[in-house]
Amino acid sequence: MARRKQTRGKCIFCGREMTRGGLARHLPACSKRQEAMEKAQQKPGQEQKLYHLQVQDAWWGDYWLHLEMRGSAKLADLDYYLRAIWLECCGHLSRFSVGGWQGTEIPKRRQIQQVFRPGVELTHIYDFGTSSKTLIKMVRGRTGKPLTSHPLMLLARNDPPEVVCMECGQPASWLCMECMYEFNEPGTLCDAHAQEHPHDNYGELRSLVNSPRVGMCGYDGPSEPPY
């Protein structure tokens, strides 16, 4: 079986493009990030414990984030961010746990510094029916002044996976839910073939957005960071 091509993304500091694992190694040594950290140290305020977290969808790992969170921030802040950038569609419930669906639930009021340490991996589940599962682990920590006034900062994110039209092989930007669920086809369509596509029993075609929840429940993006 051919090896699945890994998605790539850019460091927000220097713009270098790498895989998820490559960025996990690059970010601690990025010179542009080091410059930003040095500037932050000159600003008023106290140093804090800061946590570099790697977040990825639990199925293929095509969708991922590198985040830096304040240790004093809560899991509720992370839940809010994941909903905004990846998941929110119908106000479903969500939970964090260690050990997956059957694992020990971690209350959202817990602080990041109370939860994460090397070797700990949390599972975030959004929607207990058509579930989106996300894996979160600590890459490393540091002590310093945050680079943002928000509870967390986006360090890197995957570029949209390469998806092609099932009709012509050109880049796809639309998804037909009827093709997926009724005909067991990819359902991915380019702009040209989307215009003439006949299926509408599942509603209008949906935009392909950069989120692991695309095509699930009522999700239609726009999958933009809240800050």
The pairing of beta strand 64-70 with beta strand 48-57: antiparallel
Q: How far apart are alpha carbons 215 and 208 in whole angstroms? A: 8
Structure confidence at residue 3 (pLDDT): 47
Q: How far apart are alpha carbons 88 and 213 in whole angstroms? A: 9
User: Does 226 map to a domain?
Assistant: no
| pLDDT tens digit sequence for 64-90 | 999 999 999 999 999 999 999 999 999
37 lies in the same domain as 122: yes
| pLDDT tens digit sequence for 86-109 | 999 999 999 999 988 789 999 999
Structure confidence at residue 123 (pLDDT): 97
148 lies in the same domain as 193: no
Tokens of 169: 């092989």
71 lies in the same domain as 47: yes
**158, 188, 207: which is the final residue of a domain?**
158
Q: Identify any residues that bridge with 98 across adjacent strands, giving them in sequence order.
A: 104, 122
Tokens of 172: 């796809």
Q: What is the mean pLDDT of the chain?
A: 94
Q: How far apart are alpha carbons 100 and 74 in whole angstroms? A: 20
What are the backbone angles phi and psi of residue 42, rounded to the nearest 5°? -85, -10
**158, 173, 195: which is the final residue of a domain?**
158
The three-class DSSP label of residue 52 is: strand
Asked if pLDDT for residue 202 goes beyond 80, the answer is no
177 lies in the same domain as 121: no
CATH number at residue 104: 3.10.290.30
Q: What is the pTM of this model?
A: 0.93
**113, 132, 158: which is the final residue of a domain?**
158
- Band of the pLDDT at 5, cuts 50, 70, 90? confident
- CB-based contact 26:11 (threshold 8 Å): yes
| pLDDT tens digit sequence for 131-188 | 999 999 999 999 999 999 999 999 999 999 999 999 999 999 999 989 988 888 889 9
* Cα pseudo-dihedral 113, 66, 37, 114, rounded to 10: 0
- CB-based contact 144:221 (threshold 8 Å): no
Residue 30 domain boundaries: 8-158
